[in-house]
Structure 1
Amino acid sequence: MIIVLTGIDGSGKSTAAHALVSAVQAKGGKALLLNNHAGRRSMSVLQARWGVRLPERLADTVETTFRVWNVLVSHLQASRFNGLVVMDRHLYCQLALRGTNGIPRGRLLPWLLAVLPSPAAVIHLEIEPDEAHRRIVARGTDAETLEDLVAFRDAYSALPEYGSFIKVDAALPAPELAERLERVMSGVTASEHIPSREAATKRH
């Protein structure tokens, strides 16, 4: 079973992903954490250090190439793993970034989403951009403006897929957020093991 975590920078995706995997493993379950990054943090730091900004199309090409490669490798690893797979980021994130920068969705990313195994759930960590910006400034490992984060949030909510995401308040204190994620996971796991009415009818 694949669970995907999405959200703007500073929403705590990586922390939440580690918490989910640790919670499953602590209970004796098998869980694997996979990171579908696009090298965006490294690019933003380097651009800030050099005082330059790559053209949006060029930056998107680089990020999309890294993201698609990582997603394909992750799905290959997931296909060989018998347990829960938590993916930190996915192609939805790249589509939101494109929306942030005014770049069309294109055909490749939607096509890949259609042909790759669908996740059991996409958990979207919701947070106000100003709080996300505060976290980013505090950790000091990347550079994002408040304006970019606002645009990123709006681009996520404009995705056609956004309506099917499970939204979780990422501003909750860490223990409460972990508990909330575990409840979401329990619900998803239960629904995955409940046979559909059609399947039950066929068996009888």
Structure 2
Amino acid sequence: MIIVLTGIDGSGKSTAARALVSAVEADGCRVLLLNNHAGRRSMSVLGAKLGIRLPDRVADAIETTFRVWNVLVNHLRASRFDGLVVMDRHLYCQLALRGTKGLRRGRLLPWLLDALPAPAAVVHLEVDPRLAHHRIVSRGTDAETLDDLVAFDRAYRQLPEYSSFLKVDASAPSPEPARRLAVVVRQLKTAEAQAALQND
């Protein structure tokens, strides 16, 4: 079973993913955490230090290359793992980033989403961009403007796939979002077991 986590920067994806993995392991189940990063945080920090911003198409080309590579490698790893796979970010994230820049979806990313094994669920961590911005400023490891986060949130909601995402309120402090994620996973496992029984 593959669970994908999405959400704007500052929504707590990585923190919730790690907490979910710990909870699943505590239940005695096998779980693998995979990160589909695109190097965006590193580029934003470097850009802020140098006072430059890459052209949108250049930044997207770099991010898409890294993201696609990570997604393909991690799906291969997932296919060899017997247990729950939690993917922190995916191609949906890159499509949303394109939306913030006014770029087209293109053909490659939608084609890959159709070609790759579908996750059991895409769980979107919803958070007010203002709270997300406060979290980013507080951790001091990357740089995002509030306007960019608002645009990112809007772009996610405009994705054709968004209506099928499972939504989890990520505004609560940790570990509450991870607890809600664990509930989602248990529900999915129950549904999967019931479907297996019906097929037998």
Q: State TM-score, norm by structure 1.
A: 0.95
- Mapped to 1, the partners of 2:41 and 2:67 lie a distance apart of 13
For the aligned residues, what is the CA RMSD?
Answer: 1.2
Deviations 1:108-143 (A, max 9, x none): 000000000000000100000000000000000000
1:169 maps onto 2:190 in alignment: no
CA contact (8 A) 2:100 2:148 kept: yes
Shift in Å, 1:196:
7.3
2:126 is matched with which residue?
Answer: 126
- Mapped to 1, the partners of 2:35 and 2:150 lie a distance apart of 24
Deviations 1:69-88 (A, max 9, x none): 00000000000000000000
1:143 is matched with which residue?
Answer: 143
Shift in Å, 1:172:
1.2
Shift in Å, 1:19:
1.0
**Which stretches in structure 2 are left out of the alignment for 5+ residues?**
none
CA contact (8 A) 2:19 2:175 kept: no
Shift in Å, 1:190:
1.2
1:100 maps onto 2:100 in alignment: yes
**Which stretches in structure 1 are left out of the alignment for 5+ residues?**
none
Q: State TM-score, norm by structure 2.
A: 0.97
- Mapped to 1, the partners of 2:110 and 2:116 lie a distance apart of 10
1:195 maps onto 2:178 in alignment: no
SS at match of 1:4: strand
CA contact (8 A) 2:133 2:144 kept: yes
CA contact (8 A) 1:120 1:192 kept: no
1:33 maps onto 2:33 in alignment: yes
Shift in Å, 1:160:
0.4
SS at match of 2:122: strand
- Identity among equivalent pairs (%): 70
SS at match of 1:99: helix
- Mapped to 2, the partners of 1:69 and 1:179 lie a distance apart of 30
Residue identity opposite 2:11 in structure 1:
S
1:81 maps onto 2:81 in alignment: yes
- Mapped to 2, the partners of 1:26 and 1:74 lie a distance apart of 23
Residue identity opposite 2:82 in structure 1:
N
1:43 is matched with which residue?
Answer: 43
1:15 is matched with which residue?
Answer: 15
Query: Which has the higher mean CA deviation after the structures are superposed, 168-177 or 78-87?
Result: 168-177
Shift in Å, 1:195:
1.7
List aligned pairs for 1:54-65, cutoff 5 A. Answer: 54-65=54-65
Total equivalences in the alignment: 200
- Mapped to 2, the partners of 1:138 and 1:106 lie a distance apart of 35
- Mapped to 1, the partners of 2:8 and 2:109 lie a distance apart of 19
2:181 is matched with which residue?
Answer: 181
Residue identity opposite 1:74 in structure 2:
N
Deviation beyond 3 Å, 4+ runs, structure 1: none
Deviations 1:12-38 (A, max 9, x none): 000011111111111110000000000
Residue identity opposite 1:154 in structure 2:
R
